[in-house]
Amino acid sequence: MKYRYLIALGSNQPHHRYGNPRQVLAATLQQLDCKSVKLLSASSVIESAPLGPSSRRYANAAVLVKTRLSPDDLLSQLQHIEDKFGRNRRGQRWGPRVLDLDIVLWSEGAFASPDLIIPHPEFRRRSFVLTPALDVAPAWRDPITGLKLRQLHFRLTRRLTIPHRLP
């Protein structure tokens, strides 16, 4: 059986071989499209403010892939790619990084193991994930809320108006 996954990509550090964060994401696309994983679609790259202590802006994107790999096996492959780009897992949480790859959604719904939770627990609150995800999977639904990605994005980014009191 072939599964589909929505994966979020982020980078805010240059790589000695690939260049600036946007170029790191472009090189990552080539790594993702391999024998065991088929790259179906990639979003445009956006820039976002960092979370936590990092001071450098992030380049973010999202991809839709198809594979026979289980969620845990895909996670292992993504971590291997991160390692090839110099990812240090013992570093500061939310610190600067050359490459961050997160499984956001899976075509089979929810999944949990000791190392992975799908859907990604924070994706509903992150416009830097939802905005690129709209490029590749706007109609995908969050298996927890039942809402489409475009609905989650609207809820996150809409401006609330304060009702006026009538005299």
Between these two residues, 119 and 93, which has the higher pLDDT value? 119
Token pair, residue 150, equals 């475009």
CB 123 within 8 A of CB 154: no
As a whole-number percent, the residues of the chain with pLDDT over 70 amount to 87
Catalytic, 126? Answer no
Catalytic residue among 22, 56, 87, 150: 87
89 is catalytic: no
What pLDDT, on the 0 to 100 scale, is given for residue 54? 62
Q: Would you state the CATH architecture of domain 3-157? A: 2-Layer Sandwich (3.30)
Kindly state the average pLDDT of the residues 100-127. 94
Return the domain boundaries, the chain: 3-157
For tokens 């790859």, the residue is: 101
Catalytic annotation, pick one of 72, 100, 135, 150: 100
**Mean pLDDT of the residues in the chain:** 88
Whether 12 and 21 have beta carbons less than 8 Å apart is answered as yes
Q: Is 33 a catalytic residue?
A: no
Instruction: Output the pLDDT for position 56.
Output: 78
Q: What pLDDT is stored for residue 87 in this prediction? A: 72
| pLDDT score, position 1 | 72
State yes or no: pLDDT of 50 exceeds 80: no
Asked if 83 and 28 touch (Cβ cutoff 8 Å), the reply is: no
pLDDT band at 89 (very low <50, low <70, confident <90, very high): low
Separation of alpha carbons 40 and 92, rounded Å: 32
90 is catalytic: no
pLDDT at 14: 85
Least confidently predicted of 56-65, 76-85, 116-125, 150-159:
150-159
- Whether the per-residue pLDDT at 35 is higher than 70: the answer is yes
Q: What is the pLDDT of residue 78?
A: 95
